[in-house]
Structure 1
């Protein structure tokens, strides 16, 4: 125990007070304003920017630039270290005078509308006389400036500290030496993202590229149209993420991919890869994402994929695969997303799902049948179920009712003909997106209230009148059913608050009566299809209140009378079909500038369109 006398205690208090006072006085003088050179470089950048949304209104000479929007300074030195202007609706030129900010390490100008890039004189000169000390920049993101074209990337060679580079969605089609530029000038890069850059040359015959430190490589969405390149398999031993999706890549997946022992994510979606899915992929023990969908693979589903216990996402599909899916996938206890599609078939049982405790998304879009006990309770709670094109029916399965966290349910083209109406409609009312289309479900919708944001019930045998909808419903497709009666109770029903319906398709049913004059309740509609019914009467004037409408289709009904609607007020209208009715009078002459297609055939109109 440490003891103090009273006098010692007071001395200690005085010392503490003095230290606090000194700290306060010194602290008052440590707040530094930003460096003048940094401010000048920032203002030079601003001079080339078109800022229609006034996002840079704080950037003025009278303000400390460390307080400007997007600018971050070092607390001790006052020097600018970060500039983040992501998604600020900026346009114009990117003046790379920013690279002369000596201590700038982070620059993000992504998701804007820049169309040009200007190099400062010192950077242009350095391309002739290289310097390794022009910038301390570590992170550079210019991605998603979609109208920005860069013909030369050599200026990047001066950013010798750069570790993360993202130029995705920038047009680089004229930069034919991009690979050599990236590799020779940036051996220290950890992350390189050049997705959807219009690149065409992947240099497939090059054996080695100097990406000695690379961890992430994203070259998806380009136009390589070649085989997988040799250099890819001699890349950094630390590489863990590779995305080559949407590239028209051809040939087989070579076994040299096993050289990349630390690979965690491999995405080869939407290419033209052939041959069997390699069984040796099961040796990639660190793999967390394996996405091989939409290729031309043939043969069977390899059972070795069930060895990938680290997998979080597995996506496999091809129209040339055959046979069943191995039950070993039921052992992938870390799996969160499973997507299997194409031409696989066979019977799925509880074994295929036995240990998928963490599964959140289940997408099985192939001709599978199910041998599952109706009382089965799955080990997972899903956010998404898509069983499109399966042989799920005839009865909607009981196990789906156990899923309390569902946001998306797609059982289209799945052979369903029977639902437990009392149970089913209350269950799906909590689901954001439901798609039951192209089945043979027979149920009366007259007393149903739909609540989902997107509802697709087309091409079934639903009967009765139109259902009620809540104000949550945005997309409603009830086409090709056996619904009947008038549509006025649906359209003229007063909702408790403004509805959000933007898409309505009730075509190819048996509706009768007239089109009611209460469209003021549906001003948000952009697509309206009520064709191929038995509706009569005239087009009501309140249709003219649909000022956001893009397409309208009334064809093949029994509509009649003069078409007196002033279409010129519908400023967004592109398409209207009035064909195969009994309209008379003069052909409509007033058109909005947006109009592209008007179909009037098989009516009694006179005259010609204006």
Structure 2
């Protein structure tokens, strides 16, 4: 790859678009990016690149889209991106990056619309400076080791509110470079995990709004301020350590299509206002400490019972009548948080029953001669009766 990119280091190149994705490339990235000052889109995903991003990437002053997910990058969040303040799409997902998410991301990359950091090893708190990135419409930090509370300033992400939400399906606006450049940029695509499945979004990418903080170690309550994002379509906070109640103001998120807050430590009743989410087509509240009756609503009763199990709930779609005294099975979310490795008491009791039965019935046959004589006489008698019957 060095021979291909760095063979003309003496003079700048006018290349604006470079796609080397899914080519089984490996090794370190070359350190000659300063010869590509007009590069606006760079796609290096699905390869085997290792090490850190080279410092020369800071010279890509007009870079707007950089995707390098599913590689083997290591080290901390790349400081070489600190000067790429024109970035609109940044996807570093599925690598081996670690350390904290630096504050300068929210201070320098103010034009970002898509930030994907999922499936890395980032730790520490989510910096409040992220809330200054008012243009963000997709935040994906799932599958890391983030801890602390969810920032209460998420309502500053104005693009995720209905009144300021863009109606342009493209990610990019017009640029002063070339007509061809603008046409290519409008064809940018992104692999996103929405509704629990991965899919490629292209023609409508500019209309997608999503926050995915699942599979981390976040604690505290779900901030009420996040419900001010009335233009948010997908919200996934599952598999954390969130506590407290579901905010009653969740009904403000009128356009929400998918809500997953399963496998946390949420308590209290499900707010009745959740039934006002008319566009909700995926809901998972399972494995929390919720109690009481499931609210009535056309959308709520259409979901599977599995989306409510592991709580102390009753009513449809669960097969448990709230007026009866039937005990509602409860599964502690702490037992299932790490891949469901909790104690299964059904199999424990079955094993104990087998052991007790073995010692009570079988062992005496080996010890007592009279028991063996009686047992075999019984078997002979049964065989004789069966033969006579047939």
Answer whether TM exceeds 0.5 for this pair: yes
1:200 aligns with 2:26: yes
Q: 1:249 to 1:436 in 2, by over 3 A?
A: same
The CA distance in 2 between the partners of 1:193 and 1:400, in whole Å, is 44
- SS of the equivalent of 1:225 reads strand
1:367 aligns with 2:191: no
The CA distance in 2 between the partners of 1:349 and 1:393, in whole Å, is 15
Q: 1:250 to 1:190 in 2, by over 3 A?
A: same
Retained in 2: the 8 A contact 1:411–1:435?
A: no
| 1:93-242 alignment, distance < 5 Å | 177-180=3-6, 187-203=13-29, 206-235=31-60, 237-242=61-66
Cα drift, residue 371 of structure 1:
4.4
Aligned length: 272
The CA distance in 2 between the partners of 1:434 and 1:234, in whole Å, is 54
Deviation track 1:478-512 (CA, whole Å, cap 9, x = no partner) reads xxxxxxxxxxxxxxxxxxxxxxxxxxxxxx9xxxx
| 1:207-606 alignment, distance < 5 Å | 207-235=32-60, 237-283=61-107, 284-317=109-142, 319-335=144-160, 336-341=209-214, 342-354=216-228, 356-365=229-238, 366-371=240-245, 374=248, 377-420=251-294, 423=296, 426-428=298-300, 436=307, 439-440=310-311, 443=314, 461=329
- SS of the equivalent of 1:282 reads helix
The CA distance in 1 between the partners of 2:155 and 2:317, in whole Å, is 42
Retained in 1: the 8 A contact 2:247–2:271?
A: no
The CA distance in 1 between the partners of 2:257 and 2:220, in whole Å, is 25
Which has more helix, going by share of residues? 2
- SS of the equivalent of 1:249 reads strand
The CA distance in 2 between the partners of 1:213 and 1:447, in whole Å, is 58
The CA distance in 2 between the partners of 1:258 and 1:226, in whole Å, is 18
Which structure's relative contact order is higher, taking Cα pairs within 8 Å and 6+ residues apart? 2
Q: 1:438 to 1:248 in 2, by over 3 A?
A: farther
Cα drift, residue 377 of structure 1:
3.1
Q: 1:183 to 1:378 in 2, by over 3 A?
A: farther
Q: 1:444 to 1:311 in 2, by over 3 A?
A: closer
Cα drift, residue 208 of structure 1:
3.3
Cα drift, residue 444 of structure 1:
7.3
Q: CA RMSD in A?
A: 3.3
Retained in 1: the 8 A contact 2:227–2:252?
A: yes
Deviation track 1:305-326 (CA, whole Å, cap 9, x = no partner) reads 0101111111224543221121
Q: Which has the larger radius of gyration?
A: 1
- SS of the equivalent of 1:217 reads strand
Give ranges in structure 2 of 5+ residues lacking alignment.
Answer: 161-208, 320-327, 331-345, 347-390
The CA distance in 2 between the partners of 1:196 and 1:218, in whole Å, is 9
Q: 1:395 to 1:255 in 2, by over 3 A?
A: same
Cα drift, residue 223 of structure 1:
1.0
Cα drift, residue 430 of structure 1:
5.2
- SS of the equivalent of 2:159 reads coil
Deviation track 1:191-235 (CA, whole Å, cap 9, x = no partner) reads 22222221103435x243522322111111211122222232222
- SS of the equivalent of 2:130 reads helix
Retained in 1: the 8 A contact 2:9–2:35?
A: yes
TM-score (norm 2): 0.61
Q: 1:189 to 1:445 in 2, by over 3 A?
A: same
